[in-house]
């Protein structure tokens, strides 16, 4: 059977590809196709480990390209769809690319999956589609109230995916994760940005009062959750995937300062982001109770390992930082 992974050169997609290869025999996949357009955050070297496996092939192409998606998805058993524009700050200054990729690209992929006889379509989304929550946690049936161009584009792609299930019977399952962290995350995101800044002796920019709250999820735990959904998730359903560690951005910053050997003098307060959601929190009891999901990576351990990885792999992130400056 063939499985197609979109966005496979990115942070989460590349890690998922590695875990899938480890489970391929058990799941019955003898052909694993990695698809990525290799835009600014997609790194070919992120796929080096899996491309050594004879079952794995890489195709450079866009999910907006009907010729590419029709060819790859024809006769495939499953698609795991990670490909997306994902950085909120970029969406605020250039929203069009987010809707072109996240909404229209997803629709093209869904259409090709429908025509290609795909049985399983796992659509990877985000907790940001829910908006902001002052207390409690979102269940999967909560109203969507996105507040940024990024999150609204992801909400649109979620609705398109679920509509293809209801209208055409496509075997769509949607996952919504909390904030991911781990090795190989592009250094525009908060944890690698702060770690690489501190490695260079530069201050770290903290938005507003720093009291915005996020739930942190190690990329390995997220990918294990997606594997469970690929294997056993119910078509037409949504599954939240959380990490179980909620921190304010200020608390996270102080942990990073400690790990990097700096004090709060390295914090630079900056004007808050436009439309900055105050708090995210997902109720992930559904995937726990139905599929047996449980985070395995303790946050303090995972964060320390992540900081260590960036400090030991400057050759990976330095060209990306230089390109951004």
Query: Shortest CA distance to 39 belongs to which of 112, 94, 120?
Result: 94
Question: At 202, phi and psi to the nearest 5?
Answer: -100, 155
| Calpha distance 16→152 (Å, rounded) | 25
The residue from 85, 128, 140, 158 that is catalytic is 128
The residue from 36, 111, 127, 246 that is catalytic is 127
Maximum alpha-carbon separation in the chain: 57
The residue from 29, 85, 130, 150 that is catalytic is 150
Q: Which residues of 83-120 are buried (b: 16+ CB within 10 A; e: fewer)?
A: bbbbebebbbeebeebbebbbbbbbbbbbbbbebebeb
Active site residue 181: no
Which value, in Å, is the radius of gyration of the alpha carbons in the chain? 19
| Calpha distance 313→207 (Å, rounded) | 27
Q: Do the Cβ atoms of 188 and 89 come closer than 8 Å?
A: yes
| Calpha distance 85→165 (Å, rounded) | 23
Active site residue 53: no
Active site residue 150: yes
Cβ burial of 25 (10 Å; 0-12, 13-18, 19+) is exposed
Look at residue 206 and give its three-state secondary structure. strand
Catalytic residues: 127-128, 150
């Amino acid at each position: 059977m063939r499985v197609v992974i979109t966005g496979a050169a990115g942070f989460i997609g590349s890690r998922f590809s590695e875990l899938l290869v480890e489970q391929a025999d058990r799941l019955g996949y003898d052909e694993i196709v990695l698809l990525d357009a290799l835009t600014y955050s997609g790194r070919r070297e992120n796929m080096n480990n899996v491309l050594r496996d004879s079952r794995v092939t890489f195709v450079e192409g866009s999910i907006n390209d009907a010729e590419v998606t029709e060819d790859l998805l024809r006769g495939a058993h499953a698609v795991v769809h990670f490909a997306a524009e994902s950085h909120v700050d970029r969406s605020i200054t250039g929203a069009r690319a987010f809707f072109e990729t996240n909404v229209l690209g997803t629709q093209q992929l869904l259409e090709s999956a429908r025509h290609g006889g795909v049985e399983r379509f796992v659509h990877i989304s985000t907790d940001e589609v829910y908006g902001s929550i002052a207390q409690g946690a979102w269940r999967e049936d909560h109203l969507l109230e996105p507040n940024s161009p990024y999150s609204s584009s992801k909400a649109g792609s979620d609705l398109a995916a679920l509509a293809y299930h209801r209208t055409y019977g496509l075997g769509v399952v949607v996952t919504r994760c909390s904030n991911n962290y781990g090795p190989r995350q592009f250094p525009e995101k908060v944890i690698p940005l702060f770690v690489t800044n501190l490695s260079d002796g530069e201050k770290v920019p903290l938005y507003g009062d720093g009291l915005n709250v996020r739930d942190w999820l190690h990329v390995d735990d997220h990918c294990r959750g997606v594997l469970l959904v690929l294997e056993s998730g119910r078509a037409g359903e949504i599954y939240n995937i959380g990490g179980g560690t909620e921190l304010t951005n200020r608390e996270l910053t102080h942990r990073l300062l400690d790990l990097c050997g700096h004090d709060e003098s390295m914090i630079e307060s900056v004007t808050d982001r436009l439309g900055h959601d105050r708090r995210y929190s997902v109720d992930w009891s559904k995937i726990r109770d139905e599929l047996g999901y449980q985070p395995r990576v303790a946050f303090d351990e995972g964060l320390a390992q992540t900081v260590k990885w960036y400090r030991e792999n400057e050759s990976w992130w330095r060209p990306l930082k230089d390109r951004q400056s």
